[in-house]
């Protein structure tokens, strides 16, 4: 597959959802499965010492430098950083072009709303994306295990998808931190809107449930129940299923390239 343009996957999600860990774990999984993966860090504030991206936006723009030089807070600095990265994006793209690779895995900034709502972020994604690009949106169990949190994540992911206009996969991260019955319940919500609807009514047993109910019905009718792929970066599980679903997305519903790697759950 190295002869053609690489597939690009952007990992997004709320702060601390496990984006950086998922990029590292999926790169590892791809390598074990015989594929080449190149990691791009688009987070100018990334401070994970164990993270060693192949192309790192911090070579051009660093959040701590912006905060110090311009007296900005972390959010203001993220906003300024997105604009500065957009100005440097062709240099980033050139650095990436030096790698011959099957997959480009892109780690994105923690503050997803700051990232998703900037025009410059859209310009960055447009510049880096080839014909086969998609977003992996991570559902953090800390939020996803309450019905209201699950719905909030569906809405947020729909917003990100709407902004970037790329196909999207939903991943439930850190599944090792969930009890089996919690995991089963969250997965059931992702497959059956009525199960979720019942639980919303339990969670909002007050006369004020109208808003959540209406929101729920709106989400249901737009059809973002894409299914949720459970993964654990800590245990390295779930990536086989994610690989297969991303292949279907890239190939237009066809699994062109069965994995040669180890299977997992």
Closest among 66, 84, 153, 165 to 125, alpha carbons compared: 165
Residues 6+ apart with CB under 8 A from 127: 89, 90, 93
- Pick from 44, 53, 110, 147: which binds ligand GTP (CB under 6 A)? 110
Q: Report if residue 118 touches ligand GTP, rule: CB under 6 A.
A: no
Q: Report if residue 20 touches Mg ion, rule: CB under 5 A.
A: yes
Q: Report if residue 14 touches Mg ion, rule: CB under 5 A.
A: no
Nearer to ligand GTP, 200 or 231 (CB): 231
Min dist CB 25 to ligand GTP, Å, is 7
Q: What is the distance between the alpha carbons of residues 4 and 21, in angstroms, rounded to a whole number? A: 27
- Subset of residues 33 to 72 that bind ligand GTP, contact rule: CB under 6 A: 43, 48
Angle at the Cα of 15 from the Cα atoms of 9 and 17, rounded to 5 degrees: 60
Please choose, out of 26-34, 56-64, 170-178, 208-216, the segment that lies near ligand GTP by the rule CB under 6 A: 170-178
For residues 60 and 91, the answer to whether their CB atoms sit within 8 Å is: yes
Min dist CB 259 to ligand GTP, Å, is 20
Q: Report if residue 21 touches ligand GTP, rule: CB under 6 A.
A: yes
- Pick from 232, 245, 247, 259: which binds ligand GTP (CB under 6 A)? 232
Q: Report if residue 177 touches ligand GTP, rule: CB under 6 A.
A: yes
Cα Dmax for the chain: 60
Q: What are the residue ranges of helices labelled H in 62-192?
A: 63-70, 74-97, 112-116, 119-128, 141-144, 147-164, 180-191
Q: Report if residue 19 touches ligand GTP, rule: CB under 6 A.
A: yes
- Pick from 62, 118, 170, 174: which binds ligand GTP (CB under 6 A)? 174
Q: What is the distance between the alpha carbons of residues 197 and 236, in angstroms, rounded to a whole number? A: 32
Nearer to ligand GTP, 111 or 190 (CB): 111
Min dist CB 19 to Mg ion, Å, is 5
Q: Report if residue 12 touches ligand GTP, rule: CB under 6 A.
A: no
Nearer to ligand GTP, 15 or 256 (CB): 15
Q: At what angle do helices 193-203 and 147-164 cross, to 10 degrees?
A: 130
Residue that is written with structure tokens 């601390």 in the block:
16
């Amino acid at each position: 597959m190295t002869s053609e343009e690489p597939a690009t996957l952007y990992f997004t999600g709320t702060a601390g959802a496990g984006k950086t860990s998922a990029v590292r774990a999926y790169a590892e999984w791809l390598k074990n499965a015989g594929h080449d993966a190149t990691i791009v860090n688009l987070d100018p504030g990334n401070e994970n010492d164990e993270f060693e991206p192949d192309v790192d936006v911090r070579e051009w723009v660093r959040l701590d430098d912006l905060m110090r030089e311009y007296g900005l807070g972390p959010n203001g600095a993220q906003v300024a950083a997105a604009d500065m990265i957009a100005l440097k994006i062709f240099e980033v793209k050139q650095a990436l072009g030096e790698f011959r690779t099957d997959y480009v895995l892109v780690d994105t900034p923690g503050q997803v709303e700051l990232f998703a709502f900037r025009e410059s972020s859209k310009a960055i994604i447009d510049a880096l994306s080839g014909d086969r690009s998609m977003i992996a949106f991570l559902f953090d169990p800390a939020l996803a295990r309450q019905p209201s949190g699950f719905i909030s994540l569906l809405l947020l992911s729909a917003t990100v998808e709407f902004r970037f206009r790329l196909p999207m996969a939903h991943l439930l991260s850190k599944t090792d931190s969930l009890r089996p019955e919690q995991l089963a319940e969250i997965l059931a919500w992702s497959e059956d809107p009525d199960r979720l609807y019942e639980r919303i009514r339990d969670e909002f047993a007050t006369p004020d449930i109208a808003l959540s109910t209406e929101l729920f019905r709106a989400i249901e009718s737009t059809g973002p129940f894409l299914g949720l792929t459970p993964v654990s970066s800590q245990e390295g599980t779930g990536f086989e299923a994610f690989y297969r679903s991303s292949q279907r997305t890239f190939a237009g519903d066809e699994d062109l390239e069965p994995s040669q790697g180890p299977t997992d759950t």
